[in-house]
Amino acid sequence: MSSSWRSLPAEMMDVNLTKWTFIFVACFVGILGFLLHAIEDYIPLVIRRTFRYGKHAEKRDHVLVNQLELPKRWFFHFYIFAAPVATVSFLILVNRYFLGGEVPQVVLWLLDFQLGSSRKALVSSEKCFIAISLMTIHCWKRLYETTCVSVFSNARINVSHYIIGYVHYLGTFTCILGESQGFVKDSRFRFHWSNLTFLDYLCALIFLSASYLQLHSNYILSSLRKDRRGVVITKSYKIPRGGLFDYVTGALQFTEITIYIMLTIILWKSSTYHYICLWVLMNQVQTAMDSDKWYRSAFKDYPKARKICLPLIF
C-alpha cells in the first residue's frame, strides 16, 4: 500500500476530492431543484425521472432511466455500510486518543487520497471524538429504523441516488478524521474533556434530540401502514399526524438538517465538513418541498397551516 501511495503523482494526492465532490452535488441539486420547481414542464423527462423518486417521482416511464432504477427500500444498504464504518472510525479514535496507538497506514492513505496530502489538523481531538461518537450513534439508529421500523413502498430510486448514499457517509467520516489532530502527519494533541465548551455539549444534546425525533417520526409514518398488532396492511400514503408532523411536512428532513447543522457548529474550524452540511441542506430542502407539494395535491384536506420543513417559518 505504501509503495503504491508514493507512486501516485503529487498533484493527484493533493486534491481535496471530498470538498469538490460535495460542492458539485450541492450545486447540482440546488440548481436543478430550483429549475424543476420553476420551469418543470421545460425540463427533459430523462432528467425529471432521474432526479425525483418515491411518492413524488415522475409518473411517465423512460426506457433508459427505467433500467437504472433500484428499489427504494435499498436505502438500508447505506447503513449496513455506514454503521460498521462509524464503529471502525470510533475504535480507531479510542486507540489513538486514549491508548496511544498509531493510525493504520491504510487509513492515512485514504485520508490523503480523499482530502489531499497537504491537509491540516484544524479540528481538536475532543471535537473529533464527540463528532464521531454522535455519528456512530446516529448511523446505528438509522440502521435500526430502516430495517425494523420503516415500511417502504414499492417506489424506486435512480442508481445515482444509491451511489451518492455511499459517497456521503464515506466522505463524512473521512473529512472529520482527516482534518483532526492526531490524524495529520506531525500533528500533536492533548485530549482533555475540559477543552469542550458549553456550546459543544449543547449541540450534542440537540443532535441526539433531533435523532430521537427522527425515530419518532418514522414510527408515526410506519404506523400508517400497520394495524394495531404491527402487521403491515397497506403501502399506500396517508396524512401523517402527531409529533413534528403537526408543524411540518418534512419532519424527517427537518431533523436531518438539524443533525448536520449541529455537527457543523462542533466542527466549525474544519475546512471540508461544511460542504457536506451544504449538500445535506440542499438535498433535504428539495425533498421536503417536493413532499409538501405532493401531499397538498393528493389530499384536499391537508393541513394548510403546516409548513414545509422549518416549524412556523418555512
The model's confidence at residue 57, banded by pLDDT at 50, 70 and 90, is low
Mean pLDDT of the chain: 89
Tens digit of each residue's pLDDT (9 = 90 or more) over 276-305: 999 999 999 999 998 999 999 999 999 999
Tens digit of each residue's pLDDT (9 = 90 or more) over 4-41: 444 455 555 689 999 999 999 999 888 988 888 888 87
Question: What's the pLDDT at 235?
Answer: 86
Does the reported pTM lie above 0.85? yes
Question: What's the pLDDT at 56?
Answer: 65
> Distance of alpha carbon 42 from its chain centroid, rounded?
30
Tens digit of each residue's pLDDT (9 = 90 or more) over 144-175: 999 999 888 877 788 888 899 999 999 999 99
**Percent of the chain residues topping a pLDDT of 90:** 68
Asked if pLDDT for residue 188 goes beyond 90, the answer is no
The model's confidence at residue 3, banded by pLDDT at 50, 70 and 90, is very low
Tens digit of each residue's pLDDT (9 = 90 or more) over 102-142: 999 999 999 999 999 899 999 999 999 999 999 999 999 99
Asked if pLDDT for residue 59 goes beyond 80, the answer is no
> Distance of alpha carbon 94 from its chain centroid, rounded?
24
Span 251-268, average pLDDT? 97
- Residues whose CB falls within 8 Å of the CB of residue 292, separated by 6 or more in sequence, listed in order: 249, 250, 306, 308, 309
Asked if pLDDT for residue 65 goes beyond 90, the answer is no
Three state DSSP letters for 134-175:
HHHHHHHHHHHHHHHHCCCCCCEEEHHHHHHHHHHHHHHHHH
Question: What's the pLDDT at 255?
Answer: 97
β-pair partners for 226: 232
CA distance 287 to 284: 5
Question: What's the pLDDT at 18?
Answer: 95
Span 253-272, average pLDDT? 96
CA dihedral 294, 297, 299, 304 (to 10 degrees): 90
β-pair partners for 180: 123
Asked if pLDDT for residue 263 goes beyond 60, the answer is yes
Contact between 22 and 275 under an 8 Å Cβ cutoff? The reply is yes
Backbone angles phi, psi at 179, to 5 degrees: -115, 25
| Cβ count near 4 (within 10 Å) | 8
Question: What's the pLDDT at 96?
Answer: 95
Higher pLDDT, residue 28 or 263: 263
Contact between 200 and 130 under an 8 Å Cβ cutoff? The reply is yes
Tens digit of each residue's pLDDT (9 = 90 or more) over 69-110: 778 888 889 999 999 999 999 999 999 999 989 999 999 999
Question: What's the pLDDT at 2?
Answer: 46
Tens digit of each residue's pLDDT (9 = 90 or more) over 206-241: 999 999 999 999 999 999 999 888 888 888 899 999
For the chain, how many residues are written?
Answer: 314
> Distance of alpha carbon 142 from its chain centroid, rounded?
10
Contact between 15 and 116 under an 8 Å Cβ cutoff? The reply is yes
CA distances to 117, 157, 167 from 111, in Å: 8, 30, 14
CA distance 68 to 65: 5
Contact between 23 and 171 under an 8 Å Cβ cutoff? The reply is no
Instruction: Please give the single-letter amino acid code of residue 203.
Output: C
Angle 291-294-296 (CA atoms, 0-180°, nearest 5)?
110
| Cβ count near 224 (within 10 Å) | 15
